[in-house]
Amino acid sequence: MAKVCTKDIVEKFGLELICGEEGIHRPITTSDISRPGIEISGYFEFYPAERIQLIGKTELTFAENLLVIERQLRFERLCTDITPGIIISRGLDVPPELIQAAVRESVPVLRTKQKTTRFSSLLTNYLESKFAPTTAVHGVLVDVYGVGVLITGKSGIGKSETALELVKRGHRLVADDCVEIRQEDEYTLVGTSPELIEHLLEIRGLGIINVMTLFGAGSVLSNKKISMVIDLDLWESTKNYERIGLDEEKIKIIDIEIPKLTIPVHPGRNLAVIIEVAAMNFRLKRMGINSAEQFTNRLADVIDDK
């Protein structure tokens, strides 16, 4: 199934449908948008017919100066059986030759009142998000002090219970159990919840609870940029866990590497407080304050003095 079709952008941006209703369900296969100025001038050698065609004042003004027969031929070549739609910006009048050609090939002709550059930016951002690489991860995503923390670990280790404690402490839940992740650009991962389980937490022994109903609208978020991963690991005395924090572990999700902390789970450890401190420490590092480096520098100074 197509990720997005012409009808989706009509509904998303409130576009006016001029003609070509039969093609409203045509799939959009690329996030690229075409400004067919050079095609209207007569050059169709590399015409990207599979893209949304966005026509502004410049293209229409040029078309008005063509002979009627030339205008008809150019618009006929502009409308193909794979063109998902032609959008006229600024609320401009649609040339009758374009309407005739679009009706013949069932190409939707749409109109927006927005300026061409502004609408092109909005539409590109929307399509980029729809075509972004995606994956799903078993875990819990929580917004802690503005930091998107993805909590992972084996089933039953206490991820949801930790998220519940964080929500009680004033932080916000994004997703529980299944986190859908999309890569919006080469540096950004955004996590969301599947619609079926949005705002829900599963607590073993208690069942499913609705976080928004219990704690209010301020306790949930629809999406959040993922900044770090905290992996809950059952404590083993034979394992070596990070004691200072100099070595930063990374985990790769889709094409992006993000920081990962492994937190051993042991009776008596307050995981919610540890995750809060981890989030605050992450923010400090982004501001250039690294406590582990400061400690090692002090230690090196003491050794040098002796």
Question: Same structural domain for residues 139 and 124?
Answer: no
Indicate if 243 belongs to the active site.
yes
Query: For the chain, which ranges sit under pLDDT 50?
Result: 1
Question: Same structural domain for residues 82 and 117?
Answer: yes
CATH code of the domain containing 31 = 3.40.1390.20
Question: Same structural domain for residues 155 and 280?
Answer: yes
CATH code of the domain containing 240 = 3.40.50.300
User: CB of 157 within 8 A of CB of 139?
Assistant: no
Residues in CB range of 298: below 8 A, 6 or more apart: none
Q: How far apart are CA 298 and CA 306, in angstroms?
A: 13
Question: Is 159 part of any known ligand binding site?
Answer: yes
The DSSP 8-state label assigned to residue 25 in this structure reads: T
Question: Same structural domain for residues 140 and 124?
Answer: no
Q: What pLDDT is recorded for position 135? A: 92
For the stretch 8-42, pLDDT in tens is 999 999 999 999 999 999 999 999 999 999 999 99
Residues in CB range of 38: below 8 A, 6 or more apart: none
Q: Which of 99, 130, 161 is a domain's end point?
A: 130
Question: Is 158 part of any known ligand binding site?
Answer: yes
Q: What pLDDT is recorded for position 306? A: 66
Question: Is 155 part of any known ligand binding site?
Answer: yes
Q: What pLDDT is recorded for position 1? A: 42
Report the Cα–Cα distance between both ends of the chain, in Å, rounded: 70
Question: Is 239 part of any known ligand binding site?
Answer: no
β-bridge pairing 16-19 and 109-111:
antiparallel
Question: Same structural domain for residues 144 and 97?
Answer: no
β-bridge pairing 223-225 and 249-253:
unpaired
Question: Is 56 part of any known ligand binding site?
Answer: no
Angle at 159 between CA 157 and CA 162, to 5 degrees: 115
Give a yes or no: residue 304 inside a domain: no
Indicate if 177 belongs to the active site.
yes
Give a yes or no: residue 306 inside a domain: no
Smallest CA-to-CA distance from 256 within 130, 133, 128, 124 is with: 133
Tokens of 133: 């690489």
Give a yes or no: residue 162 inside a domain: yes
Of 138, 169, 250, 269, the catalytic one is: 138
Q: How far apart are CA 252 and CA 66, in angstroms?
A: 55
Give a yes or no: residue 1 inside a domain: no
Question: Same structural domain for residues 122 and 140?
Answer: no
Of 26, 71, 111, 159, the catalytic one is: 159
Q: What pLDDT is recorded for position 249? A: 87
Give a yes or no: residue 305 inside a domain: no
Burial letters 241-274, b for 16+ CB under 10 A, else e: eeeebeeeeeeebeebebebbebbbeeeeebbeb
The count of structural domains within the chain is 2
pTM of the entire structure?
Answer: 0.74
Element (H, E) at 59: helix 57-64
Question: Which residue range forms the structural domain that includes residue 140?
Answer: 134-298
β-bridge pairing 16-19 and 33-34:
unpaired
Q: Which of 105, 130, 155 is a domain's end point?
A: 130
Three-state SS at 255: coil
Question: Same structural domain for residues 149 and 86?
Answer: no
Question: Same structural domain for residues 115 and 196?
Answer: no
Indicate if 138 belongs to the active site.
yes
Angle at 263 between CA 257 and CA 267, to 5 degrees: 165
Of 32, 77, 130, 177, the catalytic one is: 177
Question: Same structural domain for residues 39 and 150?
Answer: no
Smallest CA-to-CA distance from 20 within 144, 130, 105 is with: 105
Q: Which of 76, 95, 130 is a domain's end point?
A: 130
Question: Same structural domain for residues 114 and 141?
Answer: no
Question: Same structural domain for residues 113 and 156?
Answer: no
Q: What pLDDT is recorded for position 223? A: 94
Give a yes or no: residue 303 inside a domain: no
Task: Give rounded-to-5 percent helix, strand, coil for the chain.
Answer: 35, 25, 35
Q: How far apart are CA 116 and CA 15, in angstroms?
A: 13
Question: Is 154 part of any known ligand binding site?
Answer: yes
Q: How far apart are CA 54 and CA 79, in angstroms?
A: 13
Give a yes or no: residue 292 inside a domain: yes
Give a yes or no: residue 109 inside a domain: yes
Question: Same structural domain for residues 105 and 244?
Answer: no
Burial letters 208-235, b for 16+ CB under 10 A, else e: ebebeeebeeebbbebbebbbbbbbeee
